[in-house]
Amino acid sequence: MAASDGFESTRSQASATVGGMRLGRASSVCAAIAAAFAFAAALPAQESGGKKPATALPEGPGLAAKYPRDRGIERDPDVLLTENFEKGEIADLGKRWSEVSNKEGRPLAFSDDAPTATRGKRSIRMTATLGKDHGGHLFGLLDRGVDEAYARFLVKFPKDAGYVHHFVWLGGRNPVVRWPDPQAGVAPKGDDRFSAGIEPFGYDGRVPAPGLWNFYVYWREMKVSADGKSWGNGLRPIEDQAVPRDRWQCVEFRIKLNSDAETSDGELTMWLDGKLAAHFAKGAPRGPWTGMGFRLLERGGDPFEGFRWRTSKDLKISYFWLEHYVTPECLRRNGVREPPPENSVLFDDVVVATRYVGPPQE
């Protein structure tokens, strides 16, 4: 997760196209969100305030339990997008994804390191090469726009994993476009776009790389940053969720849009290995807004205002963006004085659906 100053504004520009594949944007900076979060986390919980919202959120096995090893899950009517990287060559990804960022053929490669749960033969490795690129991405439009979506993917960071800048996104745009359009530093109007990224964050190097799982979110009522711009707000779970190295982890997150234009009943949820890790909903206890985000609390604090993701029901969840984005500035902000020449991560078994997916089942 990263907040930014003007260095990140280039992410809002359309990316260049080379060899039929659109390339990534220029890099952005990790900013003072770490200090803001540290301040918020240090404040004591108040005795009055928010209460945990009543939920009936699932955990453990989900839709995937109907499809052992994910076989045939792509044919389920609730599924909007799938990818297991078992077919074709790298060049064929462009037939299944709306846009592929693979500058000069470097960032994307198949790997024979695959999760055992699905017994696939390969995954995809995304690599950022210092001084040559910032990594790669796969951007996919969903089969249809929806009001609620769950995105599940398996991820594995290597033993020597480094810090990253931005990671995996779910969002919506109206009108729909076939490439990323983050418009960094600019708050959505309410009828045009929203996005939520789930990503590791290093808190200025105070936690080991890759960092802790957090959300980085753009929506109409996000808070303005200290520089007067609207960099994504960082939302932190109650308990720190360390990103593991050298093992596959099942990550799933959900956006539920607000029911009408005037109601802030939208939600944002995170599961790790099938266990509920964070649920941001109206009334949930939160720490103080710092201008860069806030942390959920077990109790006390103030009640979260909820998400009014949109002011028009024409705006739907429309895309999933699998990204590995690394910048030298972000590495420096995390205290990496001698960054390695490469920074890579493995992805596999992507499923986006209108219901909870859960970990792959044997």
Mean of pLDDT values over 83-90: 98
84, amino acid identity: N
pLDDT at position 114 over 80: yes
Lowest-pLDDT range of 19-28, 65-74, 106-115, 238-247: 19-28
**Quick one: what percent of the chain has pLDDT higher than 70?**
85
What's the pLDDT at 77? 98
12-41: pLDDT as tens digits: 433 433 333 443 443 343 444 444 444 444
Give me the residues paired with residue 212 across strands.
Answer: 201, 242
245-258: pLDDT as tens digits: 999 999 999 999 99
What's the pLDDT at 31? 43
Q: Determine the length of the chain.
A: 362
Report whether 246 contacts 11 (CB < 8 A).
no
Give me the residues paired with residue 200 across strands.
Answer: 213
Mean of pLDDT values over 63-90: 98
pLDDT at position 55 over 80: no
Q: What is the pTM of this model?
A: 0.88
pLDDT at position 193 over 90: yes
What's the pLDDT at 34? 44
**What's the burial of 300, exposed, middle or buried (CB within 10 Å: 0-12/13-18/19+)?**
middle
In the chain, the N- to C-terminal Cα span, in Å, equals: 33
What's the pLDDT at 52? 59
204-238: pLDDT as tens digits: 999 999 999 999 999 999 999 888 899 999 999 99
Q: Which residue has the higher pLDDT, 179 or 44?
A: 179
262-302: pLDDT as tens digits: 999 999 999 999 999 999 999 999 999 987 899 999 999 99
**Quick one: what percent of the chain has pLDDT higher than 90?**
79
What's the pLDDT at 254? 98
Q: Which bin fits 144, alpha (ψ -120 to 50), beta or left (φ > 0)? A: beta
pLDDT at position 95 over 80: yes
Mean of pLDDT values over 150-177: 97
Mean of pLDDT values over 316-334: 94
Which structural domains are found in the chain, ordered by start? 6-43+77-353 (2.60.120.200)
What's the pLDDT at 315? 98
Mean of pLDDT values over 48-58: 67
What's the pLDDT at 54? 58
- At residue 230's C-alpha, the angle toward residues 226 and 236, to 5°, is 85
- What count of Cα atoms within 13 Å lies in the side-chain half-sphere of residue 350? 24
> 362: how many CB neighbours lie within 10 A of its CB?
8
What's the pLDDT at 29? 38
Under the banding of pLDDT at 50, 70 and 90, the label for residue 46 is very low
